[in-house]
Amino acid sequence: LGENRLPGNVPWWIGEDLISLIILRLGSNNFYGSIPSTLCHLSSIQILDLSRNNISGTIPLCLENLTAMAQNKSLGDEISIEYTNIYNYWYDNGYIGALSTDSANYADHAQVMWKGSEYIFSKNIGLLRAIDLSGNTLVGGIPTEVTYLLELIKLNLSINNLTGPIPSNMGLLEHLESLDLSKNQLSGEIPRSLADLSSISSLDLSNNNLSGRIPSSTQLQSFDASANIGNPELCGLPLTTKFYGDETVQTLVSTAVHGDVPDFIFLNMGDKLYVTTAINVARLQRRFQK
């Protein structure tokens, strides 16, 4: 039902009467109001797309009940749909004629916004687990419960009004390939656990209020700087913005400082650890050069 002009609230009955639903795509409509908690009853759901609507409120904490996104279980080649669901919700629609018996089975495919572009997944749709709530007016924080969906492949919460930190255990989503949290009001440091996302191939944290140094890892430093721009207090590679400690290290090392570095010149203990380590390495290098 995506890409229509359907108005009103997201139907609450979907989570009550279609509990075996595997794909729910309501993106690009005119839905408003909050996300009904009954959607958390969809324990078989593997693709949930409510993007590009006018949905408000917070992200439900009960998302952890979407167990199909937490378990390593894939679909077969086809998705079977019961006639009862079709007739219950397609009646009185002006259609004349009989439904073919072939309509009980549908080819396994879905159109999904993937890494910034629309793709139609067919062959491997049974392996895809995706949540897309982007382009709404959601508020509040990113619930930790999202990180319990261990088989999640794609998570897009961009273009909302989300606040607070990125969950510290986001790194538990080891199968995550695409993460888009851009254009929100997220704050705090980028969790070091993001460096553990070995499968990540698309990352966008831009245009938030994130701060501190980008954690060092082969994965995070491999992305273009555009993945982190728009965070004025964020620094470190791949950004060219210098970190406070970087200039401090260059100054202290170049002057061959002796003894301990006083605590008062640091903004926090993390800065002190970084600078002290760099100075000690520089001292060892000088010693071996003599």
The pLDDT tens digits of the residues spanning 36-69 come to 999 999 999 999 999 999 999 999 999 889 999 9
Residues 116, 132: Cα–Cα separation, whole Å:
12
So what's the pLDDT on residue 226?
Answer: 86
So what's the pLDDT on residue 243?
Answer: 56
So what's the pLDDT on residue 288?
Answer: 59
Q: Residues of the chain whose pLDDT is less than 70? A: 72-127, 218, 239-290
**Contact by Cβ (8 Å): 18, 63:** no
Task: Using a pLDDT cut of 70, give the percent of the chain over it.
Answer: 62
So what's the pLDDT on residue 14?
Answer: 92
Q: Judging by beta carbons within 10 Å of its beta carbon (0-12, 13-18, 19+), is residue 56 exposed, middle or buried? A: middle
Closest to 129 in 3D by CA, of 53, 37, 67, 172: 67
- Topology of domain 7-233, per CATH? 3.80.10
Domain ranges of the chain: 7-233, 244-289
So what's the pLDDT on residue 216?
Answer: 82
